[in-house]
Structure 1
Amino acid sequence: MSHTKHMVLIHGAWQGSWAFAAWIPWLQSAGWQVTAVNLPGNDASTQDESQANLEGYTAHVLGVLESLDGPAVIVGHSGGGMTASQVAQAAPERVSAVVYLAGMMLPSGMSFGDVIAQCHAADPHFSYEGIGPHLLWNEERSASSVPLDAALALFLHDCHPTAALKAASRLCPQPETGRSMRNQLTSERFGLVPRVYVECTQDRSVTLALQQRMQHLSPGVQRIRLDCGHVPQLACPQALTDALLPVLNEITFQPLIDID
């Protein structure tokens, strides 16, 4: 029986495993074995862009889980939340909890655009722009990039200036197939896995209203609230650690079982 506490970190759009570098030492010092992935077709990934979709992302993370000697907490930052959800659907016996860091926690079949539309319908004063209008597209419009100034203003505004500039400079082109995705989830599988939502009140990318709408659409999630922007793992890694780990430590880590 494994008593190792595993955590697998899934980055969001335009990022790579480097997005968690500032946070990983905090987790390791608390006794967690941490793996940060590079999703196919993103940043340092060795896999080509044909796998940059929900199926390819999920298969990649499942491969990581299969290499571990026990179940893992899956953490999805931003768009990485969609992959985290699909991994929990595919292998609930290997996932002890899913954590969404200002993440896309979307009901089955629903897109992020659908959530935005619901917020507009519910509140006539709701307004949302996000990163969309700032994106730079390739000629085929098959991949987008984030300009430095937009990244600093919308993603990293509350991070230390030096760290923010370094992170903004590392953002890479994002295949659109890995951003325009919809989950397929069931209560019989995904519904078995505990969920924790890290709500970021100063987020300018996935704004608070959108985070709260996703929580409303997916009841049963345990919420943690941080007074920070879109990237808590860089803006406030100690506060994130202090808030999240006690919640995770309450979850019973079971030995690997086969539910089939």
Structure 2
Amino acid sequence: MKIGLLLLLMAALVQTILRAQSKTYVLVHGGWQGAWCWKKVVPLLEANGNRVVAIDLPGHGDDKTSPAMVTLDDYTKKVVQVANAQTGPVILVGHSMAGVAIAQAAELLGKEKVAKLVFLDAFMPKNGESVFALAAKAEELNKAAGKPAPGPSLSQCLLLADDRMTSVVDPVRVAQLFYHDCSADDVAFAKAHIGPQPMACLGTPVHVTDAQYGAIPKVYILCTQAKDLDKRSIAKHVPIQKMYTLASSHSPFFSMPEKLVAILQAL
């Protein structure tokens, strides 16, 4: 009887410790994608006792908002809403263009709610910068450093809608651009789910301050084999706590989810 009670008490203590060590991750997908891109990452993080929410930004995935109508403000409101719905502080993880979305959301949420900002091969802005501005700056710096693009640039792979409000990635080039080290099954899955991107979100500058956004610890995960854009200069653009590297394409959530999760879990 005493042994049984002791085991129950020990189990309760272990659960208490695990809850105290668990983290809450809010995963925000990049351009043209959706919450579906995190399908391998979510169960791995949850298996370690964490709480994980992968969201569809407005106009993406299962969200039925018309992409042509979506703005960066809509992105920001969604991230803020989801973060505030979680108990305690959260870690915001933004992939690619979602770097600007989590930056703008962090400005509103503050360091009490956002424990850390994680930029996964993402655009990490200063005040007044947009995805387009950061991409242009990085391309110029890469050229000046004698680092030619490994293939067609992202802009060369886009097919704009007639009204220029949205774009899709050329289906002939998307695998090489985003998923060159991913399995055939993952590429097929991505091609079946990838959708239009609201262009306004890429051209809108963020409005952030040192007191809010600047006060939140930041981590950068650089994908060194990404073919959409070499982001080494972006990774150094804003002060960060630490930079990690993955020898992956722009989509490590497909090609090396265990290594990505190991980094996220160590934060």
Report the TM range for the smaller structure's normalisation: 0.7 to 0.9
Structure-2 residue corresponding to 1:254 = none
From 109, 134, 153, the counterpart of 1:91: 109
Q: 1:121 to 1:137 in 2, by over 3 A?
A: closer
**In 2, are the aligned partners of 1:107 and 1:185 still within 8 Å (CA)?**
yes
Structure-2 residue corresponding to 1:216 = 236
1:152 maps to amino acid: A
Structure-2 residue corresponding to 1:104 = 123
Structure-2 residue corresponding to 1:255 = none
Unmatched 5+ stretches in structure 2: 1-18
Q: Does 1:115 align with 2:133?
A: no
CA shift digits 1:148-207 (9 cap, x unpaired): 221100100001111112112211011111222322211110111111111111010132
Alpha-carbon shift at residue 46 of structure 1 (Å): 3.6
Alpha-carbon shift at residue 48 of structure 1 (Å): 4.0
Q: Percent identity?
A: 28
Please give the alpha-carbon distance, in whole angstroms, between the structure 2 residues aligned to 1:186 and 1:31: 34
Structure-2 residue corresponding to 1:179 = 202
Q: Does 1:153 align with 2:176?
A: yes
Please give the alpha-carbon distance, in whole angstroms, between the structure 1 residues aligned to 2:157 and 2:243: 30
Alpha-carbon shift at residue 71 of structure 1 (Å): 1.2
**In 1, are the aligned partners of 2:67 and 2:166 still within 8 Å (CA)?**
no
Q: TM-score, normalised by structure 2?
A: 0.85
Q: TM-score, normalised by structure 1?
A: 0.87
Structure-2 residue corresponding to 1:163 = 186
Please give the alpha-carbon distance, in whole angstroms, between the structure 2 residues aligned to 1:42 and 1:241: 24
2:172 maps to amino acid: D
2:238 maps to amino acid: S
Please give the alpha-carbon distance, in whole angstroms, between the structure 2 residues aligned to 1:133 and 1:114: 13
Please give the alpha-carbon distance, in whole angstroms, between the structure 1 residues aligned to 2:251 and 2:52: 18
Superposition pairs of residues 2-21 of structure 1, within 5 angstroms: 3=20, 5-21=23-39
**In 2, are the aligned partners of 1:101 and 1:232 still within 8 Å (CA)?**
no
Q: Does 1:69 align with 2:91?
A: no
Matched residue count: 242
From 114, 117, 127, the counterpart of 2:148: 127
Please give the alpha-carbon distance, in whole angstroms, between the structure 2 residues aligned to 1:172 and 1:50: 12
The 3-state SS of whatever aligns with 2:79 is helix
Structure-2 residue corresponding to 1:53 = 71
Alpha-carbon shift at residue 60 of structure 1 (Å): 0.9
**In 1, are the aligned partners of 2:38 and 2:54 still within 8 Å (CA)?**
yes
Alpha-carbon shift at residue 88 of structure 1 (Å): 1.1
Please give the alpha-carbon distance, in whole angstroms, between the structure 1 residues aligned to 2:31 and 2:245: 22
Unmatched 5+ stretches in structure 1: 249-260
Moved more, 103-112 or 113-122: 113-122
Q: Show structure 1 runs of 4+ deviating over 6 A.
A: none
Please give the alpha-carbon distance, in whole angstroms, between the structure 2 residues aligned to 1:167 and 1:116: 26
Q: 1:177 to 1:223 in 2, by over 3 A?
A: same
Please give the alpha-carbon distance, in whole angstroms, between the structure 2 residues aligned to 1:164 and 1:31: 29
**In 2, are the aligned partners of 1:215 and 1:221 still within 8 Å (CA)?**
no
**In 1, are the aligned partners of 2:31 and 2:97 still within 8 Å (CA)?**
yes
Alpha-carbon shift at residue 50 of structure 1 (Å): 6.5
Please give the alpha-carbon distance, in whole angstroms, between the structure 2 residues aligned to 1:121 and 1:182: 24
Task: Please tell me the root mean square deviation across aligned C-alpha atoms, in Å.
Answer: 1.8
Structure index of larger Rg: 2
